[in-house]
């Protein structure tokens, strides 16, 4: 089963990475991804425009936007390393919807939390969706008794702890989106992931 997983190409995950990079380059060529007003005008998350202006598309577009080169490089590196594992585990179609639902879900929860704290922030990035991927992988690894392909429960826990620590120890990080993405990812993993049957069982031949 391990070999079967490795033969599958994770083209959906690579497509998400390419889309993020292309939109980032477009924004850099037409303005600056480190300019908050410019980012808002091109689809970044800003709660008043979503809630009062009805610009719900921002819940989606902001997933593919990043503030500066370091932001996108860090996110795309993690997505490149982990996303293909989850795509092979879920399948292409499920992974496509999994990623988008985690990203949008993280944005919605983050918006609610920030509004509840009376904070009006501008946010963008794939982090919510990526934490969703990590959450989905954590569930899949646990279901598979602590290992999925080359990933173990310990490795994922270390990634989660380090990522959250970095977020809470840094400024300008939407930690609500990270935590929300993680839990949405676990829930989506429960809904969408099914542990593969071992080869050789009678039901595989029916």
- How far the first Cα of the chain sits from its last, in Å, is 18
Could you give the C-alpha distances from 21 to 16, 68, 161, in angstroms and in order?
Answer: 9, 11, 27
β-strand pairing of 45-46 with 122-123: antiparallel
Q: Which residues pair with 148 in a beta bridge?
A: 151
Catalytic member of 127, 152, 169, 170: 127
Whether residue 32 lies in the annotated active site = no
* Alpha-helical runs (H) found in the chain: 2-7, 11-30, 36-41, 47-51, 58-61, 69-90, 92-116, 127-143, 153-168, 175-192
Q: Which of 42, 66, 71, 178 is catalytic?
A: 178
127 belongs to the catalytic site: yes
Closest Cα to residue 42, out of 31, 54, 53? 31
Q: For strand 147-148 and strand 122-123, is the pairing parallel, antiparallel, or unpaired?
A: unpaired
Active site amino acids: 127, 178
């Amino acid at each position: 089963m391990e070999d079967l997983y490795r033969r599958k190409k994770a083209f959906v995950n690579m497509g998400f990475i390419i889309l993020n990079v292309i939109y980032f380059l477009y924004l850099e060529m037409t303005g600056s991804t480190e300019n908050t007003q410019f980012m808002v005008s091109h689809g970044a998350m800003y709660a008043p425009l979503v809630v009062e202006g009805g610009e719900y598309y921002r819940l989606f577009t902001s997933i593919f936007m990043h503030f500066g080169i370091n932001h996108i490089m860090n996110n795309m590196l993690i997505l490149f390393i982990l996303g293909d594992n989850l795509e092979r585990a879920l399948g292409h179609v499920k992974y496509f919807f999994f990623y988008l639902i985690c990203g949008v879900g993280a944005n919605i929860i983050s918006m609610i939390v920030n509004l509840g704290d009376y904070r009006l922030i501008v946010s963008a990035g794939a982090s919510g969706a990526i934490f969703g991927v990590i959450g989905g992988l954590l569930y899949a690894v646990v279901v598979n008794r602590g290992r999925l392909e080359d990933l173990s429960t310990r490795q994922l826990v270390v990634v989660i702890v380090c990522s959250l620590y970095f977020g809470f120890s840094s400024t300008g990080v939407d930690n609500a989106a990270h935590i929300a993405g993680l839990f949405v990812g676990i829930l989506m993993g429960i809904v969408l992931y099914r542990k593969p049957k071992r080869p050789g069982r009678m039901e595989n031949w029916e």
